[in-house]
Structure 1
């Protein structure tokens, strides 16, 4: 959520920056300024009314002590009227504050200066590419056919149990999933991230804190009976560990990694491009979350990008990195780098990780602050990244490592799987 002071002081700069998202935010920002002025005006009236009421109450007390009951009772009538006015002003203040908050929730984060302008994913900027794309023979299969051939993932059984987008991993397929999770967690902890286990459901406040609510795209699964939400990523519960906290500057950096299943409705996702593991409603992911000093958050972002590179190099998967354009940038992010692995059998790139800096957008919602060296309270910065999302990594391994004898297992995973070929 953007800060009110920033909107008041830098309105035109924010408007120009948000145009990178193809958004004319002038109606929203004008509404914010108007509602903030209205709120301030009501607050001033309320403060003055309360001050006058307190003053009269003291006078009434003095009059009663002096035996001037008639004059005191006359003033009591005035204080009663002031109390009624205070109640009306308090209700108006709450109503205006809620209206202001609702508008603020509709404004996305301001893109970083390096974010290119653009309308869609077609305008994303490729900044890095690494790895050789293997040459497969004409008999090479896409991962969903390989999964059936080797009986490691059963998509139809998942449909029977739940519905489309909920696969069942079997035998060596399940072991390979577990191997990837353990490998990612081990690499993350070696890099200085503390492993943590968190709930897979969150309350409404947590959803608002990290920006998943209001649910603009209909992605959240909602358990109405308990008013809880299934998490779309571990980012939500991990980042909310620090909601309403005041940290000390010496605590930075705060680095966590967590494995969780993730749940996304992905409304409107149909067609061949979402076949197999390409897009699921439930999938496994290992996440990185950082809470940083504002001066160091972009260096931390570069470090996270370098770390994900290491994982893909060790897995020996061909990949590229994209800097997302304004039109493809997530609502809460200031800058995002997408990692994509090349699916040889499908002849297309598949997103496997997003690494983002949210700057103070989430922390303003979370009320997550820190005390600097001068004792002044400031908003921290938050970052997160997939390290990694399993379905498309698994798809890339199955397709790129397929041979006539079976599917070779990446060398770094063999100690975790206990086998070096899947056949």
Structure 2
């Protein structure tokens, strides 16, 4: 076995081992301590909350079961709605359906499916790093870098969107890179399809396609750019259009992604200085929707307290995204021995990515990856933010950090080599 294959096998083995460890021991307060949840909701859903790891996960599982048994999608409702995008409920419904056919447990099958996607993401990170930077060791650093990043080992056990969404994000990024390098229609079509599926799990990455469009236009003629655009559109036509048509027919509304208004409204509370319940009561008393209330609050906030609101939307929300590794606060009590290294690794990843952005900003690949992070943060900061949303974009930080480490080690080795040659020459001369 070659050295490269040996390292690759070690990466996959370690990822499998860590996932199996967390699957078997199932640590974390959200899976073991009912006190972390609101008592009124635990009375309604009981042990399901601990089994699935969060209330949103319970709602997703109920929605998937309802989709299987009654044939309609209604999140936290007994009637059809478009409160969330259909990706996660459909994904879980497929898994639950397979579990039913084989007599398996819904939750166990979902965890195993998430585990496989999470392990596969480390493999994708290897290929992304290798194809973007053309260095196999950048690929290995990227793969190992993601494999060692803690939040995946929490979220693959919770039936939330993080694991499938990040897998689809990395897969779409790899397909885009291959499409650019090979200029093959197959990769362009697959990119459009996978990216569209991603948006059915998480709509927030949608604006990132503008970076892809910019790269295509910059590197191609107008005619070829239009040809590629047509190939990309196959994905939205196959994946997103049926969802829009369903919403028009069933709900009599044009809804591109989801009808949820709460994230925009909940994000209009700078540094959580106001009580959220009071915010809701004021909106209800005014007889307006959360979306309308959000627009009013934003307009009034920027007019009356510009410094506070600018700092909140530019800096405050960004800090909330990356202030800690996602979900680590649920492991502070019984697992504190590994918490500090996880924090350190998280911060070092971000710092190394920032160094790469500053030092190598003139390199096209680094510039585009950095622009992805900036655009994602800008879009996320419009809405409510927490470290779950920060976790989604961490693969890009890991790619940039891996490149920074590779270049640093290479320059160090070159320096030592030149120093060694210098001393050998001096000794020979003497």
**TM-score normalised by L of structure 2:** 0.23
Higher relative contact order (CA 8 A, sep 6+): 1
Larger Rg computed on CA atoms: 1
**TM-score normalised by L of structure 1:** 0.23
Query: Counting helix residues as a fraction of each chain, which structure ranks higher?
Result: 2
